Chains A and B, each alone.
Chain A
């Protein structure tokens, strides 16, 4: 690979080509970073200046009214703690169900593996659809409970396939043969050898599950009626899209008084930041696994 600085042997069209490449990349970079940056500065700027388009590069008339309003809002904290619980518990259950199954499906000597794999893969293309699934949950009395966030679909077949391919391709066959000579059982081998060797894939599918739980809006929409069980995403919808910005009612009065509506946008920008913060915090740490994870998954179906 040639570095850009090594211009020897390059002709004019190649230099022009590079220039175009870097220019387009810069545009793509800005088109993603600027909207996100704008939300940050808008969340701490005077709403009137934001809405008249005077805030573009730096925040103006910095005030934290939006954030203090968010900290006072009990709905957000209920949603936050619910989502935290569903995410942690849900991801743990996901991994507990997915990893052992993936290990089993990776064992060549397991006779039922082809058949079971097929029955699992079929579910990727066929499903009962919304209504039969909804009625099933109702019959099982799972609607309006927290379990509906944890157990249904706790095995994601895509993630199962990723984990299976990893176990199959990166744990040498000889390892189990040697271990079983010494009397090692499958349970022990899975816990003591296979899992410690598979930290990369465990963290990748753990991350996939984690993000899916954190962003899950659909489950709350369909199955939950009680306000105390609502996940964060439903609360966010009320605030961001249904305009129920203030707990006291959409700026119609309450303690916030006449300036409520004026600050509604500031609250919205703040809510976007507050709800996305956890992901922004962990993002730099998990980011290095992405390529690895997709590479693992794409080895073969």
Chain B
């Protein structure tokens, strides 16, 4: 009764055949019961909508449901590419996403390197506790905070800015300041939280490396450059690839809440347009096509960045 299978189960009689997924149903029925609810939920709420993507190629028909309407091919995609909104939407989406990635991606890395240099334990803990906190403020409250603090006539930051001669600019209601306010507030809110993962990576650096760099007479700055940063590179690359995958879908909720009539020319992005066309104006097929276009571009970005990362550093997601 000696079996060579690697998956033998101590509690049960040993199987004679190599277990396949099918004939382990009986042996592992408890495991199947435990994972069944999750499978059902993922299937219903994630896979059925994926199947429903074909709506982008069909006419939506209320009586026939998600996939019953007449086939229209690429009609709705053409309608989007030809629409007068297309150029503006692409420009705004790319501008906001790229500015967010380029500026808010390095910020947590710098913060982690900085916190890592603080040797006084209590100061370090206090600082960490503080920088994580804004992450837990909800998006609505965050935008509310921006509104009351940046308001040109009553906000405290508005006052500070006008006292240094930068007043008279409605930070939330002008086309020139929307992107900077959006990106800076993103950094303010999430930089600390995002730095945790880099701090975790830094904490795994072998202390001997610090000792030997000290013996070699390296200054603090040189130690950061030659020990700390190389230790972070793998984490940085993975997170960068992941963030590129979201490059066109950043922060629908926050952009949506920050929108007003004055900044709309620069704040209307694909995601908010999909919401307005689809949920508010009930043009389901057209809106689904725009959404699918967004997903495809995202995936192309993710794929391209992953390939570059793999070629240049052997680090990749898959």
Contacts and interface: CB of A to CB of B under 8 A. Distances in A.
B196 A283 contact: no
Contacts of B85: none
Interface residues of A, number: 103
Interface of B: 7-11, 19-21, 24, 28, 30-32, 34-35, 37-39, 41-42, 44-53, 55, 60, 65-66, 111, 114-115, 117-120, 123, 126-127, 129-134, 136-141, 143-145, 147-149, 153-154, 156-157, 159, 188, 192, 196-197, 199-201, 207, 219-221, 235, 245, 252-253, 257, 271, 274-275, 278-279, 284, 287-288, 291-292, 294-295, 299, 302, 317
Contacts of B147: 240-241, 268
8 contacts: A3-B119, A21-B114, A32-B134, A131-B291, A134-B278, A136-B49, A185-B30, A233-B140
Contacts of B20: 111
A3 to B, nearest CB: 6
A130 B275 contact: yes
A1 B143 contact: no
Contact of A132 (B136, B288, B299): B288
A199 B207 CA distance: 30
Nearest to B43: A119
A170 B20 CA distance: 27
Contact of A35 (B9, B66, B145): B145
Interface string A30-63: 0111011011001000000011110010000000
A131 B56 CA distance: 9
Given A181-B11, A236-B138, A265 B148 contact: yes
B47 to A, nearest CB: 8
B140 A22 contact: no
Nearest to B116: A21
A136 B140 CA distance: 26
Given A35-B149, A38-B149, A160-B38, A129 B53 contact: yes
B138 A116 contact: no
Contacts of A184: 11
Contacts of B134: 32, 36
B69 to A, nearest CB: 11
A111 B132 contact: no
A25 B118 CA distance: 9
B291 A53 contact: no
A218 interface: yes
B76 to A, nearest CB: 11
Given A22-B118, A130-B274, A214-B138, A111 B21 contact: yes
B10 A180 contact: yes
Nearest to A151: B41
A242 to B, nearest CB: 10
Contacts of A39: 145, 148-149
A29 B139 CA distance: 21
